[in-house]
Structures are given as structure tokens and as C-alpha cells.
Chain A
Amino acid sequence: MDQLHIAVVERKTAVLDVHAAIAFVSDPRFGGIASFIGRVRDHNLGRQVTAVSYDIYAPLALRVFRDIDQQARAELGEPLKLWIAHACGDLGIGDPAVVVAAGTPHRDEAFHACRLAIEAVKHAAPIWKQEHYIDGVSAWSEGCSLCDAGHTDETALAQPDAYRHERHA
């Protein structure tokens, strides 16, 4: 049975499916399910946002998602089911941009896995957000550099501790 689901979902063809995420990580062995849903909000840094666009380099993003899974299993052990999906393309206010769900026997591991995954998605995956404002201006969000993130055999997920300390909106 699959323990991991990862996806980059083109908004033109589908919407992120929260119910499918919860169903995927559900298991008779699991008493804890934690989930995070990131949605497009209507403001940022004092500006009114009308929409966002996500650009994703999918081959590397999916690699990073798999690395996140490996990191979670290394830290938390088995059993664990993990769902990581990020939307790509043009999204409106309220649209889900990212869905992470983790299922584990107990709540502590579920919370930990979910937090680990969403922070790594935000700080280590090749995903870029462009915000569109009510005045017609658009701007790419400031982000985290991956210059020191070259994979080696020893470090499956770049800067494994960094995402726990940096904070993004």
C-alpha cells in the first residue's frame, strides 16, 4: 500500500483535493492525522491581493517532496503516511495552494511530520509565487535561496534544520 502521495497540480485542470488527502493518510493503525491547507489570501504586506500565480519546476519539486518524506521517516520512523500536493498556475483568492497531510499512530508524530513537510515545501522546493495586486501591479515574492542546497549523498534534503527556524507568511 502506498505510503506517500506527491503531486504538482495544474490549476487549469484540477483543484487540490483535501478530502482525498485525508482519505489517503487514514489507516486503521493511525490515531493521529494532521493536515495543513495553505490558501490564497487577499492581502500581503499592506497591499490588496487579487490573485496569485505559481511557477513550479516539477522535476526538482517532486524530488524535494520525496526527500521530505525520507526525512520524516528518518526522524519519526514507521508507520507514516504522507500527502504533499502543491498547485501550479493561476489561483484566485481562497483557492488552496498547498495541501499537506500526515497520518501516524499518535498525534505528536502527525503534527511533527506535517510541520516538517510544509516548512520544507516552503523553503526547499522550487516553487515561486507571483502576487497580483488590485492596482494592476504584480510582484514575485521574496524567497529563500537554494544556493547552498546542492544534494550530496550525505544530505538528502538541503539545510534540514533551516526550515524549522525561518518564518514566512
Chain B
Amino acid sequence: MKVRINLHGALREADARGYLELDIPAAADVAALRECLYRHLQEQVPQFGAAIARRTAFARGDEILPRNSRIPEHATLEAIPPVSGG
């Protein structure tokens, strides 16, 4: 199933559009989505450091999704790489 991932911070440099569309397994959870993002970056943007994907959280609206949260089909999510405000 397809999900749209809006990119933020350093992840913006992985795709000039500012988002990715990933094909993920049905009933995938956040941990599985994280691995899908990691593999996508490794394969499609090899010059980009894919390791950041493994430190990336995902949010929907104003809520960060817990690790075991199931990803709904056609969801639009926000990729939240490590933060550095202040």
C-alpha cells in the first residue's frame, strides 16, 4: 500500500519535492515504515545518509505515532528526523 511521507529538516534534501511516496506492506507499523524509508534512501538516494531514517519518528497531524502503531492505507505522515531547536 502507498503512503505519502512529508519531509522535514535534513530529510528534505532526500527529495526536492519535499515528500516521498513509499510502497509499504499492508498492516505495516511504524518500525516497518522506518525500515522502508531506510531502504528507499539507500537504493534511491545513495549519496544521502540513509542512517538518519533509523532515528526518524513519524507523526500524523500533531501526534507522534508510537512504534507499534499501524499505518493506515493512503495515509499522509510527517517524517520527523532528530530535532535541534533552540
Among A59, A97, A142, A152, contact of B62 (Cβ-Cβ < 8 Å): A59
Contact (Cβ within 8 A) B62 A63: yes
What's the interface size class on B, roughly? 20 to 34
Chain A residues packing against B (C-beta within 8 Å): 38, 54-57, 59-60, 62-63, 86, 97-98, 118, 121-130, 140-152, 158, 168
Closest to B79 in A: A57
Please report the number of residue pairs spanning A and B whose Cβ atoms sit closer than 8 angstroms. 104
Known: A55-B8, A60-B64, A63-B63. A146 touches B80 (CB 8 A): yes
Among A55, A98, A151, contact of B12 (Cβ-Cβ < 8 Å): A55
Among A59, A97, A124, contact of B83 (Cβ-Cβ < 8 Å): A124
Among B63, B64, B82, contact of A143 (Cβ-Cβ < 8 Å): B82
Least Cβ–Cβ distance between A69 and chain B, in angstroms:
14
Closest to A146 in B: B57
Contact (Cβ within 8 A) B55 A59: no
